[in-house]
Amino acid sequence: MDETHTIWIEKYRPARLADIVGQDEIVERLSSYVKSGNLPHLLFTGSAGVGKTTAAVTLAREFFGESWQMNFRELNASDERGIDVVRNQIKEFARTRPAEDADFKILFLDEADALTTDAQAALRRTMESYAKTCRFILSCNYSSKIIDPIQSRCAIYRFRPLAAEAVKTEIGRIAAKEGLTVTPEAMDAMVYIAQGDMRKAINALQGAAIISTKIEAPMVYAITSNARPEEIKELLRVSLAGDFEGAESLLSQLLHERGIAPNELINQCYRALTKMEMDRALKVQLIDALGETDFRLSEGAGSDIQMEALIARFVLASAGKR
Q: Which helix (H) or strand (E) holds 77?
A: none
The CATH class given to the 164-223 domain equals mainly alpha
- Between helix 184-194 and helix 164-178 the angle, nearest 10°, is 120
pLDDT (tens digit, 9 = 90+) per residue, 19-71? 999 999 999 999 999 999 999 999 999 999 999 999 999 999 999 988 899 99
Alpha-carbon distance of 289 to 299, in angstroms, equals: 15
pTM, two decimals, is 0.86
**Whole-number mean pLDDT of the chain?**
91
What residue spans define the domains of the chain? 8-158, 164-223, 229-319
H helices of the chain, where? 8-11, 24-36, 52-64, 83-85, 91-95, 117-129, 148-151, 164-178, 184-194, 198-211, 217-223, 229-240, 244-252, 262-275, 280-298, 303-319
Q: Name the band, by pLDDT with cuts 50, 70 and 90, for residue 172.
A: very high
Residue range 299-309: mean pLDDT, rounded = 94
pLDDT (tens digit, 9 = 90+) per residue, 136-149? 999 999 999 999 99
What is the pLDDT, as a whole number, of residue 114? 86
Return the percentage of the chain with pLDDT > 70, whole number.
95
pLDDT (tens digit, 9 = 90+) per residue, 242-289? 999 999 999 999 999 988 999 999 999 999 999 999 999 999 999 999
Burial class, 244, CB count within 10 angstroms (exposed 0-12 / middle 13-18 / buried 19+): middle
| CATH placement of domain 8-158 | 3.40.50.300
Q: Was domain 229-319 assigned CATH 3.40.50.150? A: no
What is the pLDDT, as a whole number, of residue 246? 95
